[in-house]
Structure 1
Amino acid sequence: MDDRPFALTGLFRAGLPDPAPRFAGLPRYNFVYGHNDPSEVPADALAEAAAAVLRDSGRLLGMYNLGEAPQGHARLRAFVAAKLKRLSGITCSADDVLMTSGSLQAMDLVNNLFVAPGDTVILEEFTYGGAITKVQKLGARVVGAPLDEGGLRIDALRQILEDLKAEGVTPKYIYTIPTVQNPTGSILSLERRHGLIALSRAFGVPIFEDECYADLVWTGRRPPALYALDPARVVHIGSFSKSLAPALRVGYIVADWPVLGRILATKTDAGSGALEQMVVAEYAERHFEAHLGPLRTALRRKLDVLIDALGQEFGTAAELFVPEGGIFLWLKLPDHVDVRRFAGTALDAGLAFNPGPEWACAPETAKSHMRLCFALPTEEIIREGVAALARICFEQTGVPAHGVNRRRG
């Protein structure tokens, strides 16, 4: 008899990521992830919506997919189609919408449809870190397309496509966040959108459009979605995470049925959470438009506080890429600064930020950048957190040597 302790850990398959740490609570100065402003979550109205749908339709929870089509709750899919028509210019029906467990599941489903080991995909040079790691884990080659203050550079993208064509490579898709780009916060102009569609047609490469921040444009106005310009060439995903509540995990995919039908065939979860969909539909039909204005105002106010605090503490040492909406600010410190040097020290001191390399196809190109999420902390905590960030940064790198009214060292 073998008396040695039995350990399941010795039987895990190879290639797994490192284990996740135990959750120890959020840091006091939390500028990471896609949290939103808790004070702007319409909790009372959501509670009323939950009570209403449980009272009127709760019995339907006894059936998978509420006894409806497997794409998700019919009322919510109809609302999404109407919202996209009104705000993004997309003409689609509820049957063209598939509800998902947040846009992360939507991303996984689209990748599962298109990407195989050895394939090539084009992403914006700075982009959502999860988009990069997901395709890398699938064994795909990532090519970063340059950005400027107006978003994706169409001239540079054309050159990339021509170079790949010369190699005999047709990318599986071009992934873009055209409206409130993550992390830079830019909005792709209508002219560039038409240029992107033209390149898709010329080189036979589809577009994977991620619009999960589009409802948070400060002005409330945005160009038509890429899907609206050419639905045959675009797969569109979106989410209620940033416009309503991240923890609800309600996202969606919009695509023509030949695409959506194949995606649906690979969705093996027996349907995304139905109660969340019912509650969001009940709430959104009545309150969604009225909710967005105050939310944008609150987020813009926090951004203004963050910009002011960074100016006071970092002076001219920080180059800010002021977003046109959303919940993130992208900034750059002097070239010799590597923010990874002090990210761990900052976290130990209760301050979390996203180092730029996590959001770059070529990590070293963003070693001096960082992304700050300003939605979660209060205005007071934002100011305290930026002061702590400047102090830690100076102690580790000598930058910033001084703010507006103070000299360090």
Structure 2
Amino acid sequence: MTETARPNSDAPAGAFDIAAKMVDGLPQPAGAWTPIPRFSFVGGNNDSPSVPVGGLTEAAMAALTKHGAELATYNLGGNPQGFAGLREFVAESLAANAHMPTSSEQVLVVSGSLQALDLVNTAFLRPGDVVIAEEATYGGMISKVARRGARCIGVELDDDGIVPEHLERLLDELAGAGTPPRFIYTIPTVQNPTGSVMPIGRRREILAIARHFGVPIFEDECYSDLQWTGERPPTLRALDCADSEGQSVVIYCGSFSKSIAPALRVGYIVADVPVVRQLMALKDDAGTGALEQLVLAEYAAAHFDDHVSQLRETLREKCAAMRHAVNTHMGALSRVAIKLGGPVQVSDPKGGIFVWLTFPPGTDTARYLAPAAERGIQFNEGAAWSVDPEWGARRMRLCFGSLSHQDISDGVAALAEVIAAN
């Protein structure tokens, strides 16, 4: 049996090429790291001056004083579900802020929401399976489902989230075809990328439909702490647990990445205890970083609500600056509107760190990636954040969380110049 060299090999002719021994089907190798440019509107980075460095420093000293010796043992010598103090804080916070009574035994600490996605996908998906996801959704979810050999089918969104009539129609069609979805993935509170918040009545409709068809729901609420408009509604899981008897159909996911800092890589799953224990059996990483858990538990118990309140106001102001810049430089009287035959529409998010742009029909925002990069501008083209890339082609996601007001203004102006010139 002969082996063929992998296509991206840089080995000299005749040299031993270890890359040729790797399996087929791997993603493209990562490129060389480059510094984040001034006008980076990509990713989920947040406001760096808002990271509570002082509070985290004090928390680290206190946590290490109390628990430092326990670092000698995996999982601090305790429950592999995560540090008890952090799980207790999560349970108390969800009860107080999300109307979701929770016990610490229902909480599994994970290494960011991406690990939560991996665990749920591993537990539920087989090659050929189907997941229903919002037509505009988290790009990481789409790619992770694809890596399991499954596929996403998009359900329509409006300003209140999933359109119930379309969800019911999709589930009926899939059931009739013998391919019922393994679960419904939704971001009901501060949806990524649209920033919408699903009202309580709509949540009850979605739950009723899911229960009727016997389909679980994976509820991703990684941005819910950052809602700044209106009262935060009960989670889908909270409503389901209150209205039903027995096991919930909802698995819930949250994160400290957006409320505290993305680099901490700490998230959590909330589910019925049998589900948590099954997911624990799949979590084979010897435990999420213990030091991060200790520091978060110490800091959050005293400061979380005050910190998040201040962060929300900071992000609300940045969002206003971003929407003003888009309307100024891509609105009805702009060169962009003249070039494209109409203005760019910008979402009015109710929280979070993104705006979602919709360009006139016929636009493909991916065409601006290369010329924008030459100007030191990065953005997320809409196709990568849409279940149907053709539907998403005329859309664009811009993150405003990490930029200053001046860089937001200057960056959007520079991006508009790129669009008008290309």
Under TM normalisation by the shorter chain, which class is it?
Answer: over 0.9
**Residue 233 of structure 1 corresponds to which residue in structure 2?**
249
| In 1: Cα distance, 2:400 partner to 2:213 partner | 39
Deviations 1:265-324 (A, max 9, x none): 010001000000000000000000110111001001111111111111112311011100
Q: What runs of 5+ residues in structure 2 fail to find an aligned partner?
A: 1-12, 242-247, 333-342
3-state secondary structure, aligned to 1:9: helix
In the alignment, is the contact (CA less than 8 A) between 1:87 and 1:221 conserved in 2?
Answer: no
Deviations 1:224-271 (A, max 9, x none): 001112241000000000000000001000011111111000100010
Report the Cα offset of residue 4 of structure 1: 3.1
Map 1:8-19 to 2 at 5 A.
8-19=18-29
Map 1:166-177 to 2 at 5 A.
166-177=176-187
TM-score normalised by structure 1 residue count? 0.95
3-state secondary structure, aligned to 1:306: helix
3-state secondary structure, aligned to 1:82: helix
In the alignment, is the contact (CA less than 8 A) between 2:183 and 2:217 conserved in 1?
Answer: yes
Tell whether 2:203 aligns with 1:187: no
Q: Which amino acid aligns with 1:344?
A: A
Tell whether 2:347 aligns with 1:325: no
**Residue 392 of structure 1 corresponds to which residue in structure 2?**
418
Q: What percent identity do the matched residue pairs reach?
A: 49
Report the Cα offset of residue 220 of structure 1: 6.5
**Residue 243 of structure 1 corresponds to which residue in structure 2?**
259
**Residue 39 of structure 2 corresponds to which residue in structure 1?**
29
Q: Which amino acid aligns with 2:216?
A: P
**Selected match of 2:170 from 155, 160, 165:** 160
**Residue 335 of structure 1 corresponds to which residue in structure 2?**
361
**Residue 3 of structure 2 corresponds to which residue in structure 1?**
none
**Residue 402 of structure 2 corresponds to which residue in structure 1?**
376
| In 2: Cα distance, 1:41 partner to 1:334 partner | 38
Number of aligned pairs?
A: 394
In the alignment, is the contact (CA less than 8 A) between 1:354 and 1:371 conserved in 2?
Answer: yes
3-state secondary structure, aligned to 1:230: helix
| In 1: Cα distance, 2:28 partner to 2:366 partner | 19
**Residue 216 of structure 1 corresponds to which residue in structure 2?**
226
RMSD: 1.0
3-state secondary structure, aligned to 2:253: strand
3-state secondary structure, aligned to 2:32: coil
TM-score normalised by structure 2 residue count? 0.92
Q: Spell out structure 1 runs of 4+ moving beyond 4 A.
A: none
**Residue 93 of structure 2 corresponds to which residue in structure 1?**
83
Q: Which amino acid aligns with 1:8?
A: I
In the alignment, is the contact (CA less than 8 A) between 2:327 and 2:346 conserved in 1?
Answer: no
**Selected match of 1:290 from 284, 287, 306:** 306
Deviations 1:49-79 (A, max 9, x none): 0111112210010111111111000000000
| In 1: Cα distance, 2:283 partner to 2:51 partner | 29
**Residue 257 of structure 1 corresponds to which residue in structure 2?**
273
Deviations 1:36-56 (A, max 9, x none): 000100001101101111122
Deviations 1:144-164 (A, max 9, x none): 000011111011100001111
3-state secondary structure, aligned to 2:331: helix
Tell whether 2:129 aligns with 1:119: yes
**Residue 9 of structure 2 corresponds to which residue in structure 1?**
none
Report the Cα offset of residue 120 of structure 1: 1.0
Report the Cα offset of residue 200 of structure 1: 1.2
| In 2: Cα distance, 1:279 partner to 1:348 partner | 40
**Residue 371 of structure 2 corresponds to which residue in structure 1?**
345
